[in-house]
Structure 1
C-alpha cells in the first residue's frame, strides 16, 4: 500500500518520468514584481480612451470618458445603490455557480467512470448544451416566474456544461495503468477515487471552473434582463432608459473586474492544489 501511494504521488507530480537533470532545467517562475505587465495593455487602452474623449474623437453620448465613468461610480457608491446591486448580483452568480458546478462535477465523474452512465446521459447533455439561454427565457418565466429561481437556474445551466465537459475529459485522460495498479493493491472504489481519479482529473476540473466563472456573469446578464428589480444588470437596463451611458459602461467595467477577480481566485487554487504544474 505504501508503495502504491508513493508511486501515485510521483506520477501525479511528474516525478516518475522526469529525471533530476530535467527538473533542474525547469524554467523559473515569473517574479511577483513582474505582475504589473499584465495590466500594461489595459492601462494603455484606458489612457488612449481618455485622450480620445478629451480631444473630441469620441462622442460622450456614445462612449463617455473614463473620468465620467469614475464620476458615476462615486455617485452610486456614495448613495449606496451600487453596493446593494452588486451584492445581489454576486449572490445570484455565486449560488448558480455552486449548483451548476457541483452538478457538472458529479455527472462528469459518473459519466467518465461508468460506461452505462455515459451511454445513458452524455447524449442528452450534449443536446441541451447547444440550446442558447435566450431561447429558454420564455420557458424559464413559465416554470419559475420572474423571481430569483429563474435567474439562478439560468446561471446554473450555463456553468454546468464547462465543468461537466472538463471533468469528463479529465477522468478519461487518467492513465489506465494507475487504476490497474490501484486494483492490484486492493484499493476499493472510494479509495481509488480519492487517490487516483480525483487527483488525475483535478487539473481539467479547475480549467472548467475558470471557464464556468466567466460564463456565469454572461448568464447573469441574461437573467437580469427580464423581471429584475435589482442587480448590476438591472442597473444597466435602468440607465439605458435615461441615456446614462456612463452607468452602462460602469456596469460593463464591473463585470470585467469581477471576471478577472474570479479567474485570479481559481488560479490561486491551482497553485495551491497543483504545485507541480506551472500556472500562468
Structure 2
C-alpha cells in the first residue's frame, strides 16, 4: 500500500502534497474568493457604464450625477462627521426595530407553529394585518406616537415582524412528524424536544425570515424617516432634495444598498455557521 506524504506549508497554512498541489482547504478558500468576485461583476460593470455615460454627456448631472460626484459628496459629508452621525442614528433605528419585530415574530411563530390552539386564535389576525401597507398606517401611527423615535421604530418593527413570523411558522410546520414521534418515544420533555428537534428543524426558515426582515427594515426606515425626521440617512436625502443636491440623494440610496448587502452577507455567514449540513450556494 502506497503511503502519501502530506505536509502543511508554514507560510500560508495550506495543505500540500509532494506534487505541489494544494489541499482542499486552500481550494475552498480560492473558490470562495472567485465566487465573490463573480457576484460583483455586474455591479462594477454598471458602475463603469454609469461613469462613461456621465463623462460622455449622455446623462444630465442634475438628473443623475457621475459616480465621481457621488464620491465627492461622500467625502464632503464624511470629513465633517455628518455622514457618520446620520448613519449611526439610522442604524440604531433599524436595529432596534428588527430586534423588537423579529423577536416577537420568532416567539409568536414558534407558539402558533407548536400549539394548534394558538394557531387557530392568532394566525388569521396576523394574516389580515400583514396585508396592510405601512404607508397606510403612517397617519394613524403619527396620531398614536407623534413624530418622535417611537413612531419610526414601531413602523420598522411592524414591517419586520411578518417575514420572521411567517418563515418561523413554516419552519416549525415543515418538521418531519416522525422526529417528534421519536422524541416522544425517547421520553424527551417539552423543553428538550424544543431544544433538540423543534428549534434545529425550524432554524433554516427562521434565518430566511431574518434575511427578508433585514431587507424590509431599510424600506420601512425610508418611510419612517420621510416624516418629522431631523436626523438619519433619510433626513439627509430629504434635506438634499430641498437644495437640489442630487449627488447627496444618490449617495443616500447607495448607502442603503450597501448596508442591505452587508446585512444579508452577515445572515448568510450565520447560516453557514449554524447550518453546516446545508450545501453552500
Q: TM-score, normalised by structure 2?
A: 0.89
2:127 corresponds in structure 1 to: 126
Residues 1-280 of structure 1 mapped to structure 2, 5 A cutoff = 31-34=31-34, 35-280=36-281
In structure 2, what is the Cα distance between the partners aligned to 1:37 and 1:214?
22
Give per-residue Cα distances to partners, 1:91-140, cap 9 Å, x unaligned. 00000000000000000001101110001000000000000000101111
| 1:33 CA drift (Å) | 2.2
| 1:279 CA drift (Å) | 2.9
Kept in 2: contact 1:111–1:168 (CA 8 A): yes
The alignment covers a number of residue pairs equal to: 253
In structure 1, what is the Cα distance between the partners aligned to 2:33 and 2:233?
33
SS in 2 for 1:31: helix
Give per-residue Cα distances to partners, 1:198-247, cap 9 Å, x unaligned. 00000010000001000000000000001100000000000001110000
In structure 1, what is the Cα distance between the partners aligned to 2:31 and 2:267?
19
In structure 1, what is the Cα distance between the partners aligned to 2:33 and 2:178?
42
In structure 2, what is the Cα distance between the partners aligned to 1:32 and 1:101?
30
Kept in 2: contact 1:233–1:251 (CA 8 A): yes
2:7 corresponds in structure 1 to: none
Kept in 2: contact 1:88–1:231 (CA 8 A): yes
| 1:31 CA drift (Å) | 1.1
2:4 corresponds in structure 1 to: none
Higher relative contact order (CA 8 A, sep 6+): 1
SS in 2 for 1:87: helix
- Most deviating of 30-39 and 125-134: 30-39
In structure 1, what is the Cα distance between the partners aligned to 2:139 and 2:115?
35
Q: Please tell me the root mean square deviation across aligned C-alpha atoms, in Å.
A: 1.0
- Larger Cα-atom Rg: 2
In structure 2, what is the Cα distance between the partners aligned to 1:103 and 1:201?
16
| 1:32 CA drift (Å) | 1.9
Kept in 2: contact 1:267–1:279 (CA 8 A): no
- Most deviating of 28-37 and 175-184: 28-37
Structure 1 stretches of 4+ moved >4 Å: none
2:5 corresponds in structure 1 to: none
In structure 1, what is the Cα distance between the partners aligned to 2:143 and 2:203?
38
